Amino acid sequence: MEVSKVKGIGPKALSLLSKIGISTVDDLVTHYPFRYEVLKRTNLKEAEEDAKVIVDGRVESVPILLRFKANLTKLNFRLVTPDGVVGISVFNRAFLKSNLTIGTNVIVIGKYDKKKNVITASEVKFGTLGNHERIEAVYHLTNGLTNKSMATYINTAIMMNKEGITDYIPEYLLEKYKFSNKRTALNIVHNPPNMEKLKEASIRLKYEELFAFMFKINFLKEEKRRQDGGIERHVTKEELESFIKTLPFELTNDQKKATFEILKDMNQNTKMNRLLQGDVGSGKTIVSFLAMYINYLSGYQSALMAPTEILAIQHYYNIREIFKDVPIRIELLTGSTSKKDKEAIYRGLEDGSVDIVIGTHALIQTDVIYHSLGLVITDEQHRFGVNQRTNLREKGILPDVLYMSATPIPRTYALTIYGDMDVSIIKEMPKGRMPIKTKVRKENEITLVLEDMYKELQQNHQIYVIAPLIEESENSDLTNVLELRDKMRLAFGAHYKIDIVHGKMASGAKELIMNEFKQGSINILISTTVVEVGVDVPNATMMVIFNAERFGLSTLHQLRGRVGRSNLQSYCILISDSDAKRLQVMEKTNDGFLISEEDFKLRGHGDLFGTKQSGDMTFKIASLNQDYKILIQAKEDSLKYLLDSTKDEDLLKQELIQSVHQS
């Protein structure tokens, strides 16, 4: 129901409300207070001279209005409070006079002049504090809208007939949990009589919100499960194992486990929808190559999508190396592939002669036609957002899907965002890895940093240096890549090769530099965060990051993950003059999971997943951080409700299902 139907909301209020996203009655009544103000009665006898006090009582004398020059007015009256009679002075609010008739109950907040027994009021409200205290809702507002008018609109809307307000909790669950009806709960949350009732009502509304959310997630998951047409493959464990034996290293147990989970999925006649999660450097790539091998043995095409071209190129070279003895056609398709090559690759994909194609996610967005696409792999999934599945579905192809992500996702998020996926986790690092040593340094300690760098260079190890900017900028004194190149060349240029790579370079040039760095002919590579994800150069043992305060902890962790990829001791140096406390988290731990939780606490979830997803994750009253238990219960209950066919006629159930298709 439109919010204009609420009594008292005219065109002006309508436009103000729309500014803060309120257009329906539902929006209005779920515009929850962002905090509460607790007004507690002060014991005047114990109050100190000039203390801020809150009292309530009855007006005992007709207010006297005094006028001074220059628009100054003062209203004086006596108030009978539980602690005795006290004088009240209110400045410049003459208009209150007519309402302050004898016997009126008011709450006064102000400064107490104990000697004169007078309170100079900063606020006068009508009503009483009840037995102990009064809790007031404080709302997010916009210019022109007062807290009071907002409260009035909301309360009017709640009191109106209940049509505009949908309750998403089915009857039997309301009974089971002895939840109040929705209007009662809303009324309490907006006008809490006490903390206990407020808590009760919030839990009920949180549960409802999470119930509706999890219902959708569960519905999508079930829908996917029901869709037929999954590819049933017949690859044996032995076939796969004999290929694994040809790899240049032994897989870790976690890698093996993930690989066989994938094999099982792919051999089943239902579609795989699996997230492969593992900290940076844990070795996810090889697992994805093995998935492609399974797919290849079954005669299907695979597509591997990387978030950056640099990464796509790296995967391309790696996979060619891994499959060098397998008669398989692998192609690289990026923005800089020549038109002629592109056309040849398109043809190969259409006629089936290309087995594996590696590129950026344009691979599934353009009009590429596949002969028999059986597997799509997405690297660094957190970079993309969640919409690619829809892309695939819209193209009418439903291959098996494997997502890889290094962003460790707190369990609540895994449950919600990835609630419709199976998850494999690689916890174990490849054998022989030493934890990276991390150190935070001040800018004036640069000589110490250079000394540390020199030690690594002398041992023929390579170094990444990161700066937040590419070039000098008028409105910022952050370190930039070009400036660092000149400085580093001055310090080390006589003996070592120093070069740069950044996002504004043509991709051919980028590729060239990355290759030289990989081959070891560049000793120091200076760049922006383009190397953040995935780049793999085991001989690089030092990561130096300038203006480290500019980066989120998760980003820093990703950057740091570029080193420590061999048995060599690696180092990470964070240079910053501010934000020391936050950066110390990096010194203390190499555990990406802890770091992402810390990041989350500091920056909220929006940042963890990129803006695309944050929209889906915004709850009005529930907080995934705090309401984990409610979430679990809501997940379980909503699944039961969904699967219970005797409830299929429920109007509520039908409405919930409809809302899935709308969003």
- Report the DSSP beta bridge partners of residue 52: 111
Tokens of 117: 């027994």
Instruction: State the nearest-atom distance from the C-beta of 180 to ligand ADP, in Å.
Output: 49
Would you call 310 helix, strand, or coil by DSSP? helix
CB 563 within 8 A of CB 572: yes
> Does the protein bind ligand ADP through residue 286 (CB under 6 A)?
yes
CB-nearer residue toward ligand ADP: 119 or 426: 426
Q: What is the token pair recorded at 408?
A: 């460790």
Q: In the complex, which residue's CB is closest to ligand ADP?
A: 283
Contact between 262 and ligand ADP by CB under 6 A: the answer reads: no
Q: Find tokens 């994800």 and name the residue.
A: 533
Rg (CA), the chain: 32
- Mention every residue, 6+ apart, whose C-beta is less than 8 A from residue 619: 209, 210, 213
Give yes or no for residue 307 binding ligand ADP (CB under 6 A). no
Choose among 297, 229, 224: nearest CA to 263.
Answer: 297
Compare residues 188 and 525 and give the one whose CB is closer to Mg ion: 525
- Residue with smaller CB distance to Mg ion, 57 or 561: 561
User: Using CB under 5 A, which residues numbered 89 to 128 contact Mg ion?
Assistant: none
- Sheet with 400-405, side-by-side order of all strands: 330-333, 356-359, 301-305, 373-378, 400-405, 273-278, 422-426
283 binds, among ligand ADP, Mg ion, none (CB under 5 to 8 A by kind): ligand ADP
The binder of ligand ADP chosen from 284, 389, 557, 582 (CB under 6 A): 284
d(CA 406, CA 419): 17
User: Is residue 279 within 8 Å of residue 592, measured between CB atoms?
Assistant: yes
Contact stretch for ligand ADP (CB under 6 A) within 249-257, 267-275, 319-327, 356-364: 249-257
Q: What would the two tokens of residue 433 be? A: 């890895």
Task: By CB under 5 A, name the one of 534, 561, 564, 592 that touches Mg ion.
Answer: 534
CB 247 to ligand ADP: min, Å? 8
**Cβ closer to Mg ion: 397 or 425?**
425
Write out the E strands in 409-485: 422-426, 437-441, 462-466
Distance CA 586, CA 602 (A): 14
Cβ(408)–Cβ(281) below 8 Å: no
Work out which of 193, 538, 606, 610 binds ligand ADP, going by CB under 6 A: 538
Going residue by residue from 425 to 454, which x/- string records binding to ligand ADP, judged by CB under 6 A? -----x------------------------
- Of 33, 164, 278, 468, the one binding ligand ADP (CB under 6 A) is 278
Residues whose CB falls within 8 Å of the CB of residue 416, separated by 6 or more in sequence, listed in order: 213, 214, 217, 617, 624, 631
DSSP for 243-290?
Answer: HHTTSSSPPPHHHHHHHHHHHHHHHSSS--EEEEEE-TTS-HHHHHHH
Cβ at position 534, least distance to Mg ion in Å? 4
- 34 or 249, CB closer to ligand ADP? 249
Q: Which of ligand ADP, Mg ion, none is residue 278 near (CB under 5 to 8 Å by kind)? A: ligand ADP
Q: Which residue is associated with the tokens 């694994």? A: 244
Name residue, tokens 């692998």: 330
Question: Which of the stretches 208-216, 486-494, 531-539, 584-592 binds Mg ion when contact is defined by CB under 5 A?
Answer: 531-539
Binding partner of residue 251 among Mg ion, ligand ADP, none, CB cut-off 5 to 8 Å per kind: ligand ADP
Inter-residue contact 492 to 525 (CB < 8 Å): no
Q: How far is the CB of 242 from Mg ion (least distance, A)?
A: 25
> CA 238, CA 432: separation in Å to the nearest integer?
28
Cβ–Cβ < 8 Å for 308, 360:
yes
Using alpha carbons, select from 37, 84, 39 the residue that is nearest to residue 57. Answer: 84
Mutual angle of helices 651-662 and 195-226, in 10-degree steps: 70
Judged by beta carbon, residue 469 or residue 595, the one nearer Mg ion is: 595
Do 529 and 551 touch, CB atoms closer than 8 A? yes
Q: Which does 538 bind (CB under 5 to 8 A by kind): Mg ion, ligand ADP, none?
A: ligand ADP
Q: Which amino acid is at 281?
A: G
Size of the site for ligand ADP (CB under 6 A): 19
Residue pointed to by tokens 């436009």: 15
594 touches, from Mg ion, ligand ADP, none (C-beta below 5 to 8 Å by class) = none
Compare residues 139 and 316 and give the one whose CB is closer to Mg ion.
Answer: 316
Residue 261 sits in the site that holds ligand ADP (CB under 6 A): no
Cα dihedral across residues 645, 649, 652, 658: positive or negative:
positive
- Residues 297/299/305/309 CA torsion (nearest 10 deg): 90
> Quick one: tokens of 455?
């030690």
Residue 408, interface with Mg ion (CB under 5 A)?
no
Task: Give the one residue of 141, 251, 397, 568 binding ligand ADP; rule: CB under 6 A.
Answer: 251
Closer residue to Mg ion, CB minimum distance, 187 or 308: 308
Query: What span, in angstroms and rounded, lies between the C-alpha atoms of 286 and 358?
Result: 14
Q: Residue 28: name the closest of 160, 202, 181 by CA.
A: 160
282 binds ligand ADP (CB under 6 A): yes
Q: Which does 281 bind (CB under 5 to 8 A by kind): ligand ADP, Mg ion, none?
A: ligand ADP
Closer CB to ligand ADP, residue 538 or residue 610? 538
Cβ-closest position to Mg ion:
534
* Closer residue to ligand ADP, CB minimum distance, 191 or 282: 282
For ligand ADP, which is the closer residue by CB, 14 or 594?
594
Q: Binding segment for ligand ADP among 2-10, 95-103, 281-289, 393-401 (CB under 6 A)?
A: 281-289
Task: Give the one entry of ligand ADP, Mg ion, none that residue 399 binds, where binding means its C-beta sits below a cut-off of 5 to 8 angstroms depending on kind.
Answer: none
Among 30, 42, 218, 285, binds ligand ADP (CB under 6 A): 285
To the nearest 10°, the Cα dihedral for 63, 67, 71, 74? -40
Smallest distance, Mg ion to C-beta of residue 5, A: 54
**Residue 39 and residue 133: Cα distance in Å, rounded?**
5
Smallest separation, CB 592 to Mg ion (Å):
12
Task: Mark residues 541-570: x for contact with ligand ADP by CB under 6 A, - for none.
Answer: ------------------------x-----
Shortest Å distance, C-beta 317 to ligand ADP: 12
Residue 406 sits in the site that holds ligand ADP (CB under 6 A): yes
**Stretch binding ligand ADP (CB under 6 A), from 52-60, 122-130, 247-255, 576-584:** 247-255
Which residue number, 212 or 556, has a Cβ lying nearer to ligand ADP?
556
Q: What length is written for the chain? A: 663
Least distance between ligand ADP and beta carbon 306 (Å): 10
Task: Pick the stretch among 69-77, 121-129, 528-536, 564-572 that binds Mg ion (CB under 5 A).
Answer: 528-536
252 binds, among ligand ADP, Mg ion, none (CB under 5 to 8 A by kind): ligand ADP
Q: In degrees to the nearest 10, what's the CA dihedral of 451, 456, 458, 462?
A: -130
Distance CA 170, CA 172 (A): 6
- Residue ranges that bind Mg ion, judged by CB under 5 A: 534
- Residue ranges that bind ligand ADP, judged by CB under 6 A: 249-252, 255, 278, 280-286, 406, 430, 534, 536, 538, 565
